[in-house]
Structure 1
């Protein structure tokens, strides 16, 4: 049986939404909703990794598990590894769950875990989702990904890939099945230890996408496909959308 630990990086500081993990969404904080959704998956354990005492105390108060990590980590990946080292318990894989995805589907987490069960050589796994319209296709905030025949990522970009020279851009979706990246990652612990020691790469700096550092250094990123939509929260407008979603889904 796969022993998988879910770790949720949660920073207090946010330029557009300070204290974002503690934002109230229909009577529960955003971080509580993330934890509760993750606990519905096949994960063996769910832990919040935070740099702030307020978040730590809040998670412990609602019965969750949390650890205080360094405030100096440059990325959530580094915070996940810090937390795993503090846990000092072996795991087959670690899942990095975004702390601003309060409606993440347990099935999405399970689909990544399945890749580690089915493919013993899996190093890193992540999710992809079909692009459904031009707004998604051309948004630089929604990274796209191209895959090889074995569903390993070849490249991630904020620009649509591939470029279709023979067709006007407004017709690209008619002639190619584009995929966007969903930022949920799972790693073998030894691989996570290695990638957190890598310096930023040229491709990563160009696109501002951390996963390009891993590809540029020869790591394989296997993908699973999802058609389930989630709501990431970065702004007050996103909070309003989340509240509308909750109003339409009172069982959540």
Structure 2
């Protein structure tokens, strides 16, 4: 399977403008993501897909591959499809790596790639929740998985609900999973995903993957044991810098 790694990097962000260019211990966030992906075996090529000249020039300056995409994409999935359509090579799959995960591990990307066999339509990562605070945090997306390893549903709420049990005991009664937002798409499926309309479930939870499920697409999951450190706000950046200082990253 020939896999293209795409890192969407949008300049505008309500909570953290110019986030891809922020300095993290001597390197920009987007450079750190790019270098982590380049370490991954099994990825044929890696490219940053951006909508901004500053990001474009910065990636070129550190020696990365980059392409310019439209500003009006509503999701990273749409940006990935445009980036794929601009590439001359033939790729079987695209892996969408979040541009705000500067410490993503190559082993996590390789785990996701291991699910790509030509039959898999979409794949993503999950991780078991072991922290009660995370379990009830609406900013962390939870996922319920079938016995065959497919995602059944994603929610910002805590799912499933453990009936007649105090919430402080829920983690002892069931294995809950959080979603790690890295996706792999079969190339033909990626095109189809950009053509379907926003669904009622997606509007309700503000999760685009619910549109895919509602339209009958199958999402395989792979369970990682490794934690990720996403940076959505300046406070998240402070946390990441503290982790670096304490040598936890």
- TM-score, normalising length: structure 1: 0.96
Matches within 5 A, 1:192-231: 192-231=190-229
Deviation track 1:164-197 (CA, whole Å, cap 9, x = no partner) reads 1121222111100001100000000000000110
Q: Distance in 2 between matches of 1:88 and 1:48?
A: 15
Q: Give the 5 Å matches for 1:89-100.
A: 89-100=89-100
Q: What is the rounded CA distance, in whole Å, between the counterparts of 2:178 and 2:24 in structure 1?
A: 27
Asked whether 1:232 is paired with 2:235, we answer: no
Aligned pair partner of 1:143 in 118, 138, 141: 141
Unaligned runs of 5+ in 1: none
Residue aligned with 1:245, SS:
helix
Task: Name 2:51's counterpart in structure 1.
Answer: 51
Aligned to 1:108: 108
What does 1:186-197 correspond to in 2, within 5 Å? 186-197=184-195
Once the two structures are TM-superposed, the CA of residue 82 in structure 1 deviates from its matched residue by 0.5
Name the counterpart of 2:8: 9
Deviation of residue 134 (structure 1)?
Answer: 1.2
- Report the counterpart of residue 70 of structure 1 in structure 2: 70
Provide the rounded CA distance (Å) in 1 between the counterparts of 2:167 and 2:96: 34
CA distance in 2, matches of 1:71, 1:127: 27
Structure 1 residue 141: deviation in Å? 0.5
Q: Distance in 1 between matches of 2:86 and 2:174?
A: 45
Task: Please give the alpha-carbon distance, in whole angstroms, between the structure 2 residues aligned to 1:165 and 1:150.
Answer: 25
- Which runs of 4 or more aligned residues in structure 1 lie more than 6 Å from their structure 2 counterparts after TM superposition? none
Over aligned residues, Cα RMSD in angstroms?
A: 1.1
Which has the higher mean CA deviation after the structures are superposed, 225-234 or 50-59?
225-234
Give the Cα–Cα distance (whole angstroms) in 1 for the partners of residues 205 and 72 of structure 2.
22
In structure 2, runs of 5+ residues without a counterpart are none
User: How many residues align structurally?
Assistant: 248
Deviation of the 1:249 alpha carbon? 3.2
1:160 matched residue in structure 2: 158
1:19 — aligned with what? 18
Measure the CA separation in 2 of the matches of 1:245 and 1:170: 28
